[in-house]
Amino acid sequence: MNRKTLPLVYSLAIPIGVGALVAIALAPFGETPLEGVTLLVKGAFGSWRRVSETLVKTSPLLFTGLAVALAFRCGAFNIGAEGQFLIGALASVAVGANLGLDSPWIGVPLVLGAAFLGGAIWGGIAGALNPWRDVPEVISTIMLNFIALFWISALIRGPLKNPTSGLPESPEVVEATYLPRLSDLGDFPGYR
């Protein structure tokens, strides 16, 4: 097999394999694969609210996957997308909860910018360790994932803790910094 036919083989084998897995998973319940796929599509895309929820749930996965793919394309093995995502979330919560923003036109870009900057700085640490101390990106990014997790845990129990709560949680993010949702646009015709 050469390089030209391999993508064609993959593009045919993957849907067939997924279909077989769906059929195997649904067999004990007496459902056909077509019914299962229909329910899956209706559950994810049956109304504007469901599309909105699907986008809310998948966007972190898509953006972290894009970050890994972009770094891989540049020749770096960025396994630390999870830690960068967590630090970006921490930065956005710190900005959104503490600056008292009341305009979505200012709040949303500022919170998104803080998230992007936080994740970029965290990824930059691993990027700087490679030429500076000859630390491989794979090792440093995996280690930085755990450091990010423990750092967030410490900050939520300390300086970023909600003073009105006894639980380790951040203050509530100002509503003006929320991203708008698609669920207010109504339902698709033919679905409930």
Q: What is the pLDDT of residues 86-127, one digit of tens each?
A: 999 999 999 999 888 888 889 999 999 999 999 999 999 999
The answer as to whether 170 is a domain residue is: yes
Please give the pLDDT value at position 18.
86
8, 79: one domain: no
How far is the C-alpha of 94 from the C-alpha of 2, rounded, in Å?
Answer: 51
How far is the C-alpha of 155 from the C-alpha of 103, rounded, in Å?
Answer: 27
38, 124: one domain: no
11, 85: one domain: no
Domain count, the chain: 2
Apex 181 CA angle, 180 and 187, nearest 5: 150
Please give the pLDDT value at position 10.
85
The answer as to whether 114 is a domain residue is: yes
Please state the pTM of the whole predicted model.
Answer: 0.77
Task: Write the pLDDT tens digit of every residue in 128-176.
Answer: 998 999 999 899 999 999 999 999 999 999 999 999 988 999 999 998 8
Q: Cβ(101)–Cβ(176) under 8 Å?
A: yes
97, 75: one domain: yes
Residue ranges making up the domain that contains 127: 58-179
Q: Cβ(94)–Cβ(173) under 8 Å?
A: no
Closest CA to 91 of 143, 148, 22, 133: 148
110, 168: one domain: yes
74, 32: one domain: no
Helix (H) or strand (E) holding 6: helix 6-26
The answer as to whether 148 is a domain residue is: yes
The answer as to whether 191 is a domain residue is: no
